[in-house]
């Protein structure tokens, strides 16, 4: 019989932290106690009313002090800022995780945690365009990949505990190197966000009112990510800058190839590119 995760402290009760609290609460292998830290008293109160958490505090030090597992669920640069204080306040052997979308800088910062602590970077591959606890959903992690980045110093048992936590909320844990993770998500998550933002800005700046009134499900889906929380995305982009710029350059190249084929009326070439895209997309569903 496997032990539960004991006391879990979640720092940040937005979409991700709030969803984690709800998911852990419903888990078969639920924590004994869920403690939440948030700057916002109203959010803590909402989470307590929803039964998502047991203890609430606006004080980071008080929240993490007794936790067996600490999960930082704030924007990435806030995680980087909070880690030293977590290091000072957490009890020895605590598992320190996060849910940030870029991992290299966070895992680097985790190296500086006191030797007794057990750091594992984390990134569940899921999201919504709505931010905040009001959008939290205990089913958010189900069937989704959950990237885990242990450090060289991380004890095997700590990685096991992180893996068990990911499984307990229905996710598929996937141990990856932080640099490889950041390069991959720059392509399949951060690039699509920037592409969606550019698309919206393109239509807005055209000043064509007819365009908006004819917009339908195709535009809605393609542009959905542009509605993401800007503070969260700004942190992600700025802490994964090189990889995202790299993908943006390759994306511009692919667009250029398509535009050239269309502009010159190269039907065979254009068809080949579109068929390749259709096949590539079909591979995604399998």
Residues 194-233 binding its own copies (CB under 8 A) are 194-206, 208, 210-228, 230, 233
Separation between Cα atoms, residue 75 and residue 106, nearest integer Å: 11
For the segment 146-205, give every residue that binds its own copies (CB under 8 A): 147, 174, 176, 180-181, 183-185, 187-189, 191-205
Query: CB of residue 100 vs its own copies: minimum separation in angstroms?
Result: 14
Give me the residues paired with residue 8 across strands: 34, 69
Separation between Cα atoms, residue 192 and residue 280, nearest integer Å: 15
Residue number, 6 or 269, with CB nearest to its own copies: 269
Residue number, 156 or 209, with CB nearest to its own copies: 209
Query: CB of residue 181 vs its own copies: minimum separation in angstroms?
Result: 7
Report the phi/psi class of residue 132: left, alpha or beta, with left for phi > 0 and alpha for psi in -120 to 50. left
Identify the DSSP state of 225. Answer: G
Residue number, 50 or 175, with CB nearest to its own copies: 175
Residue number, 94 or 176, with CB nearest to its own copies: 176
Q: What is the DSSP string of 4-39?
A: ---EEEEE--SHHHHHHHHHHHHSTT--SEEEEE-S
Confirm or reject binding of residue 103 to its own copies (CB under 8 A): no
| φ and ψ at residue 34, rounded to 5 degrees | -115, 115
Q: Give burial (CB, 10 Å; 0-12/13-18/19+) of 256.
A: exposed
Query: CB of residue 41 vs its own copies: minimum separation in angstroms?
Result: 26
Separation between Cα atoms, residue 204 and residue 201, nearest integer Å: 5
Query: CB of residue 166 vs its own copies: minimum separation in angstroms?
Result: 14
Confirm or reject binding of residue 238 to its own copies (CB under 8 A): yes
Confirm or reject binding of residue 2 to its own copies (CB under 8 A): no
Separation between Cα atoms, residue 103 and residue 115, nearest integer Å: 20
Residue number, 7 or 239, with CB nearest to its own copies: 239
Confirm or reject binding of residue 135 to its own copies (CB under 8 A): no
Token pair 């640099």 is found at 179
Confirm or reject binding of residue 134 to its own copies (CB under 8 A): no
Residue number, 69 or 270, with CB nearest to its own copies: 270
Residue number, 89 or 222, with CB nearest to its own copies: 222
Kindly indicate which of the ranges 26-34, 91-99, 105-113, 234-242 contains the residues binding its own copies, using the contact rule CB under 8 A. Answer: 234-242
Distance of CA 245 to the CA centre of its chain: 19
Confirm or reject binding of residue 254 to its own copies (CB under 8 A): yes
Query: CB of residue 126 vs its own copies: minimum separation in angstroms?
Result: 6
């Amino acid at each position: 019989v496997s032990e539960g995760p004991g006391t879990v402290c979640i720092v940040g009760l937005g979409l991700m932290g709030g969803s984690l609290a709800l998911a852990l609460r419903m888990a078969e292998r639920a924590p004994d106690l869920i403690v939440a830290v948030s700057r916002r008293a109203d959010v803590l109160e909402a989470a307590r009313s929803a039964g998502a958490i047991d203890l609430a505090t606006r004080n980071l030090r008080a929240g993490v002090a007794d936790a067996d597992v600490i999960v930082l669920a704030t924007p990435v640069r806030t995680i980087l800022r909070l880690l030293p204080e977590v290091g000072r306040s957490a009890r020895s052997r605590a598992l320190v995780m996060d849910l940030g979308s870029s991992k290299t800088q966070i895992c680097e910062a985790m190296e500086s945690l006191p030797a007794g602590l057990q750091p594992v970077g984390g990134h569940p591959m899921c999201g919504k365009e709505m931010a905040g606890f009001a959008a939290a959903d205990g089913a958010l992690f189900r069937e989704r990949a959950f990237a885990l980045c242990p450090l060289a110093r991380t004890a095997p048992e700590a990685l096991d505990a992180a893996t068990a936590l990911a499984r307990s909320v229905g996710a598929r844990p996937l141990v990856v190197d932080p640099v490889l993770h950041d390069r991959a998500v720059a392509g399949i998550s951060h690039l699509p966000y920037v592409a969606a933002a550019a698309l919206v800005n393109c239509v807005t700046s055209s000043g064509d009112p007819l365009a908006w009134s004819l917009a339908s499900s195709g535009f809605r889906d393609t542009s959905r990510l542009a509605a993401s929380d800007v503070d969260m995305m700004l942190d992600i982009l700025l802490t994964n800058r090189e990889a995202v710029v790299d993908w943006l350059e390759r994306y511009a190249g692919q667009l250029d190839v398509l535009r050239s084929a269309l502009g010159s009326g190269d039907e065979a070439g254009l068809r080949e590119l579109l068929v390749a895209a259709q096949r590539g997309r079909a591979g995604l569903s399998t």
